[in-house]
Amino acid sequence: MSIENMLNNRESGIKLSRRDAIKLMGISPIAASVLASAGTSSIAEASADVSGKVIIVGGGAGAIMALSRIYRAIENPDITIIAPNEVHLYQPGQVFIGAGEMEMEDIILDNNNYIDQDEVTWVKDAVEVFDPDNNTVTTRAGKELKYDYLVVATGAQYNYEMIEGLTKEDIGTNGITSVYLNDLEKGTSVGATATWEWNKALKEASKTSKQKVIFTHPNTKIKCGGAPQKVMHLAADFLKKDELSAEYTFVSSTKSLFPLPHVAKALEKVQARYDTITSKFQHHLQAIDVKNKKATFLHVYSEDVYDEEMDETEIVSHEDTIVMDYDFIHITPPMSSITSLMNSKLVDFTGWLEVDKHTLQHKRYSNVFGIGDTCGIPMGKTGGSARHQGPILTENLISVMKNEKPKAMFDGYTVCPIKTAYGEILMAEFNYEGDAPTIPFLSIEKPRYFWWLFDLYQLKPMYQYLMLTGRF
């Protein structure tokens, strides 16, 4: 099929096959640039004659990207990776599974393809104790390992139990779902498949009555910050295709739909397409009555109050408890670093890994670095951030191994591909300074079919063959 025919089919509403979509993506500027760079690695091959025992903790995207780059950047590397999981989940695919666009087998990868046990030591366990004062980590099995340099890539932990009345076992029952719920060690994603069943049940129920549907966003940092809205837009569009609707409420602890005002405004326009979406801000889900389908939120807000006697204005804080009935609810859980890391000296007062937001070096332990979701920096809890952090981490680690100061600077790049409907994505790319689009002449606040094709069909091959191997 020609490119012209494929484009015509799209305009006619004909769904593209996976093969045709990939072919169409081949003409895109970003695809061309990636393919052009795929033949040569961005890593300096065995360039550094340095020594020291490097331990990498984690088995997800950040850990594997770091391993690939560090291994190839050191002439005679001495690397141990501590990761319990042989299965590697392609987590961006979970939302697509929840929308019926992917199957579980589509997101299963194998860490054996990225960890060469002839070249590096793989301890198939998790770290129970971090002891940076003595440069050691201890695994669950009680094995103590000494390091000269430590890379922490342990990701984010989901804390469903922080919501009173909720357990992980409730996900997928009684109108409750959460696309996030997975077990990275076992390689399962219960939340993704439960969300697809939830969407189908919502559509069926909406045929006879208007359902009350809640989507939550907690008062902690979360990975892939736009995911709660993605799930909401896709659910609303899933019903809209059959001329159905529901009473949707987006209940968020944040003050707006997005930290960038122009993107927030664009998302307000997206919500207006689905005529029953209401947003409630500065609301945090405290408790849930699973049996009676009631969600309790803490509404925390402040207001300026003028005191006539003192002739001054003061800020007064308020806390109200709000109970909302629902038929269906999608829960984004509070998140934190993993428990063993929170119990160590490596975290800051927020509980995340205390690293410099530019160098990714620990602020108090100079031989410790971080990458990915675990880092306590203003931005960066996305796979796209980890990809940009990989070369920064590697260069700065080599500098420290040479007794030099880190010079490479992470600019805060993060990317949030917000699904606004089936066949549309608003690709919000930004950094510490503001907008940072991969394709400079494309505004980040405009939803595009192009980005849907990229995210659904091309991102996984790039992730699998280029990002995890450190070639992109």
Active site residues: 224, 416
Find the helix or strand (DSSP H, E) in which 108 lies: strand 108-110
Three-class DSSP labels, the chain: CCHHHHHHHHHCCCCCCHHHHHHHHCCCHHHHHHHHHHCCCCCCCCCECCCCEEEEECCCHHHHHHHHHHHHHECCCEEEEECCCCEEECCCHHHHHHCCCCCHHHHEEEHHHCCCCCCCEEECCCEEEEECCCCEEEECCCCEEECCEEEECCCCEECHHHCECCCHHHCCCCCEECCCCCECCCCECHHHHHHHHHHHHHHHHHCCCCCEEEEEECCCCCCCCCHHHHHHHHHHHHHHCCCCCCEEEEEECCCCCCCCHHHHHHHHHHHHHCCCEEEECCEEEEEEECCCCEEEEEEEEEEEEEECCCCEEEEEEEEEEEEEECCEEECCCCEECCHHHHCCCCECCCCCECECCCCCEECCCCCEEECCCCECCCCCCCHHHHHHHHHHHHHHHHHHHCCCCCCCCCCCCEEEEEEEECCEEEEEEEECCEECCCCCCCCCCCCEHHHHHHHHHHHHHHHHHHHCCCCC
Q: Which two tokens stand for residue 377?
A: 């920096």
The shares of helix, strand and coil residues in the chain, as percent rounded to the nearest 5, are: 30, 25, 40
For residue 199, the cross-strand partners are none
Dist CA 256 CA 262 (whole Å) = 11
For residue 306, the cross-strand partners are 313
For residue 315, the cross-strand partners are 304
Contacts of 39 (CB under 8 A, 6+ apart): none
